[in-house]
Amino acid sequence: MNRKTRLAGQVVLITGAGSGIGRAVAIAAVARGMRPVLVGRRQAALHETLSLLPGGMGAASVGWAFACDITVPQQRHDLLAELARREGRLDILVNNAGAFHMGPLSAMTDAAIAETFAVNLAAPTALIRDSLELLARSEWPVIVNVGSVNGDLPDPEFSAYSAAKFGLRGLSDALRLELAPRGIRVCYIAPRATDTAPPGDEGVAADMNMSLDQPEIVAQMLWAAVERGARSAYRGRSERLWIALRRLCPRLWDWHRGS
């Protein structure tokens, strides 16, 4: 049976909190009585998110921001040192930061490939490892990895992105088993294309005949999944059906996407 999580009063670290899904997750967290720690590369964007939280930037009790690049080990160390100093624990880690590069693999640069895997997979893996000590101090520790339906349903010209999200899903499944004896739960969230960053999602959704979600919808799905103790949550009835069908008959998905 899934163990429900009490959200009120929890300290939650959210990466990619300067825009889009991360911003919506932070706003929804405060509405549920949580204290968010906003993480992202752009200080100005984080301050904008802070200003949108109930209570605004002037209310120190609402939450705080820390600008850093989680792909850089020293910056991760500095982030968690500040978190330990200010909060003393971490209840929920939301790995939401992402990088998106679309196009044929033959045209993708080394830099684009490296960024895709660094931001979407390597950095979340390292951040989880580095956060385990703080998570162990929590009564209700949860790790939330924000993936994508492309982590189950690959599409042409999404090769590196799909591979990274497949990896994040695999990481979530493995860590769920590995960390269970320590009382740390792992939840994998798979949104569809969203009307937000990364740039180009709206055009991509139209080109690929994908449904487009608002980030607020994804945030509501995320917190509902965490609260009920779910292993994972996926957006879209048709997407969930295709995931099930692809597991039974992979060629059916290949035919559907025009291979």
Active-site residue numbers? 161
Query: From the CA atom positions of the chain, what is the Rg in Å?
Result: 18
CB 151 within 8 A of CB 162: yes
Nearest to 166 by CA among 150, 180, 181: 150
Q: In the structure encoding, which two tokens stand for residue 49, read together? A: 């998110």
Q: In the structure encoding, which two tokens stand for residue 208, read together? A: 């690929």
Could you give the C-alpha distances from 161 to 40, 100, 116, in angstroms and in order? 20, 6, 6
* Per-residue exposure over 66-95, b if at least 16 CB sit within 10 Å of its own CB, e if not: bbbbbbeeebbeebbeebeeebebbbbbbb
- CA distance from start to end of the chain: 40
